[in-house]
Structure 1
Amino acid sequence: MNFRALLWQIVVVAIVVGIAAWLWSNTVHNLSVRRISTGFAFLGREAGMPIIDTWLPYSPRDTYLWAFVVGVVNTLRVAVIGVVLATILGTLVGISRLSSNWLLSRLSLVYVEVLRDIPLLLQLLFWYVLMQGLPPARGAWKPINGVFLSNRGLIVPSLPLDGGQAWVIGTALLGLVAFYFLRCDLLARQVRDGHPRRIWPYGILFVIAAPALLSWWLGVAWTPTMPVLRGFNFAGGWTFAPEYFALLIALVTYTSAFIAEIVRSGIQAVPKGQWDAAVALGLRRGFVLRQIVLPQALRVIIPPMTSQYLNLTKNSSLAVAIGYQDIVSVANTTLNQTGQAIESIALIMAVFLTISLGISLFMNWYNAHIALVER
């Protein structure tokens, strides 16, 4: 029986390899007949395409390779920030769905049902048209001091990020990581010996005191740059273009509706006896939700939440519909200019595959980290 199973596996693998070899040979033959060059040598040529909204320095004289890097960063700008905001908003809406307040729970229900039933592309176009309908720069809305909202996008004050600031921020991030692992170790010790240990002094030391001391030693200035209206546009500050802002809002609101249902079902999966026991001990409902129910619900929430993170990342490719230049838009422009269709599409696939695998690996690690350990 084992020999037969092994034989069938060899046959299946041989068939797959044969089909792949035939497709490759056929593709190379057709490309040579049409005198279409192959390879990635075009990445070293001058791109000649403008990319307006980017965090990296770029000019049309840069290479196609650097244009692809800029496109990848633009995609990550949407994916990373979108995942964080969608998680926060979806969690709040999901908890509100279970609220005893009738109005709050019904509003959350309407939010979830409406946004889940409208195609994402329509929502994206709606937000983009809405952004285009905002007043011009001279008549921009100013909800708070230094923040402007107009058809130029969202303009907010910016902080200088030179060498000194980067070192301080890096120190704070490293301190946050060190505090996380130290907290896990102290909690494990408390479980073993039953002696409580104070954790907050280490948080103040690693996350606040160490970066503040480094900032003072380096003489880093943290004076924000306020945006100022000059002519028909703003100077200074950070500008979130209308295309980026519309894409981010659409992805966050759409994905948060699905995350809300995941959070709601995860909380309801925790036995009601957990609530009853905690309330009988006199614990507040907010404390019970944070410290007892949600940690148990995470084991149900994390797997489907991973799928939503992947969906948000892949749905960011709809940016091409409103002109936001992510990796898909840059690759499409490259394809039209060079004719390297296979290579451009292969780069898109490689980028999204890498991002998706990275998200999956991280979420699988986290899911295994919080899993119940059988004794």
Structure 2
Amino acid sequence: MQTTATLRRRPPRLPVRHRLSWKGAWHDLGVRSWIYQAIVLIGVIALGSFLVGNAQDALSKQGISTGFAFLADDAGFEIGERSIAFQSTDSFLKAYGVALLNTLKVSVASIVFATLIGVIVGVGRLSSNLMWRKFASIYVEVFRNTPQLVQLIFWYTIITKLPHPRQAFSFDGLAFLSNRGIVIPWLTNDSVIWMLLAAILASSILLWAILQVIDRRRKKSGQKQPVALMLGLMIAFSPIVLTVLLGPSYEISIPVLRGFNYQGGTTISPEFLALLLGLSLYIGAFIAEIVRSGIESVSAGQIEAAQTVGLGPFNIYRRVVFPQALRVMVPPAAGQYVSIVKNSSLGVAVGYPELFSVNNTIVTLSGHTIEAIAIMMSIYLAISFSIAIIMNLYNHKVQIKER
């Protein structure tokens, strides 16, 4: 039997953290998970390198050059619709720039219209008005359950069957709708447009910062800040005022019928209109369901409490329902916005020169299939990640902090 003195003379055991060996680390689930992930990552990189090297060897044996040097070559084709100047003698890289701007233009416009449609129809599905509620339900069911490509072709067919420019629908003699698209008044100086957009962006950032300060003061004092609305209106209209006073000289070009078509103004092409309608109306139906489910996630007791304090329907939705519903609405809405960008590639079906359509032309003329597809995929991936990051930041902003 061991005595107390013997037990006291026994050296103390080291703490577990000092006795941790590689064998012990292997039995740690966290360490093993990192090792497995590293092995899988190394395997994927090795497999990708093998496939790329194998493809390069096969292409070199056939006398086909590889690499991205072809981007500096002359494109050799025209792009019918463009936001910046482009000629056939410009490079493939500039052609990608034109295609990217076309994709962003139709995607941003579709996101705005789809969001407006989704909010209006989603609220309408919960309306007490029977006719409006049924109309919203029919819209959602029809547009959600028909293929998007079919809708796109339908709208393109409708637009191209409109009257010729001589019999175009006139909107007070300023805008005209025909089978050539919509012709609207436009500024003759493009620099004014860019200056106006820059001023709008700067004023929006300034307005957001000032409203944040006013909101924090309101929360501390518990009193309304009467200058908020006036200040917001002043900053909102400041871009137009600054552009008129300090901007370069400009004129507004009014479209006029000359011969068989309109001259002056700017034309929104049938291809752009068809793609815009196809994307907005289709995705708008999904956003409407997201809005409806978000509103229904707010308990009826809070709406009743808001009614008891005298809030009207508009203020109930603005101050009670939507701030809480956004927690449910924002994540799935971000997925729909990404879908709009990806589905813009359907523009190839109606001849709209977006990224996918221009990329196909570049592949045909340059012969650099792998490189061109890699560029296209990278651009789509970058746009999708950008949307996801912005929506995640906004989702973090609108989340109600639980205490």
> TM-score interval w.r.t. the shorter chain?
over 0.9
Note the 1:73-152 alignment, pairs <5 A: 73-152=101-180
The size of the alignment, in residue pairs, is 374
Q: How far apart are residue 211 of structure 1 and its match?
A: 4.7
Question: How far, CA to CA, are the matches of 1:63 and 1:305 in structure 2?
Answer: 37
Matched, 1:314 2:342: yes
Question: How far, CA to CA, are the matches of 1:34 and 1:136 in structure 2?
Answer: 51
Q: Is the 8 A contact 1:251 1:315 kept in 2?
A: yes
SS at match of 2:262: strand
Question: How far, CA to CA, are the matches of 2:347 and 2:145 in structure 1?
Answer: 20
Q: Is the 8 A contact 1:173 1:207 kept in 2?
A: no
Q: Is the 8 A contact 1:131 1:246 kept in 2?
A: yes
Structure 1 or 2, whichever has the larger Rg, is: 2
Q: Which amino acid aligns with 1:120?
A: Q
Matched, 1:202 2:231: yes
SS at match of 2:169: coil
In structure 1, runs of 5+ residues without a counterpart are none
Question: How far, CA to CA, are the matches of 2:159 and 2:301 in structure 1?
Answer: 48
TM-score normalized with structure 1 length:
0.95
- The CA RMSD over aligned residues, in Å, is 1.7
Q: Which amino acid aligns with 1:359?
A: I
Match of 1:71 in 2: 99
- Which deviates more from structure 2 when the two are superposed, residues 332-341 or residues 18-27? 18-27
Q: Is the 8 A contact 2:115 2:284 kept in 1?
A: yes
Question: How far, CA to CA, are the matches of 2:78 and 2:347 in structure 1?
Answer: 16
Matched, 1:323 2:323: no
Query: Structure 2 vs 1, CA of residues 225 and 210 (structure 1 numbering), >3 Å: closer, same or farther?
Result: closer
Q: What percentage of residue pairs aligned between the two structures are identical?
A: 39
- Which deviates more from structure 2 when the two are superposed, residues 310-319 or residues 14-23? 14-23
Question: How far, CA to CA, are the matches of 1:8 and 1:169 in structure 2?
Answer: 49
Note the 1:165-180 alignment, pairs <5 A: 166-180=194-208
Q: Which amino acid aligns with 1:265?
A: S
Q: Which amino acid aligns with 1:56?
A: I
SS at match of 2:170: coil
Question: How far, CA to CA, are the matches of 2:33 and 2:286 in structure 1?
Answer: 41
Question: How far, CA to CA, are the matches of 1:45 and 1:56 in structure 2?
Answer: 19
Question: How far, CA to CA, are the matches of 2:118 and 2:63 in structure 1?
Answer: 52
Q: Is the 8 A contact 2:162 2:178 kept in 1?
A: yes
Question: How far, CA to CA, are the matches of 1:5 and 1:171 in structure 2?
Answer: 50
Query: Structure 2 vs 1, CA of residues 165 and 13 (structure 1 numbering), >3 Å: closer, same or farther?
Result: closer
Query: Structure 2 vs 1, CA of residues 273 and 17 (structure 1 numbering), >3 Å: closer, same or farther?
Result: same
Q: Is the 8 A contact 2:324 2:400 kept in 1?
A: no
Note the 1:1-375 alignment, pairs <5 A: 1-2=27-28, 3-164=31-192, 166-198=194-226, 199-209=228-238, 211-212=240-241, 215-218=244-247, 220-221=249-250, 223-375=251-403
TM-score normalized with structure 2 length:
0.89
Question: How far, CA to CA, are the matches of 1:338 and 1:166 in structure 2?
Answer: 33
- Which deviates more from structure 2 when the two are superposed, residues 207-216 or residues 314-323? 207-216
SS at match of 2:152: helix
Deviations 1:87-143 (A, max 9, x none): 011110111100000010001000000000100000011111111111111111114
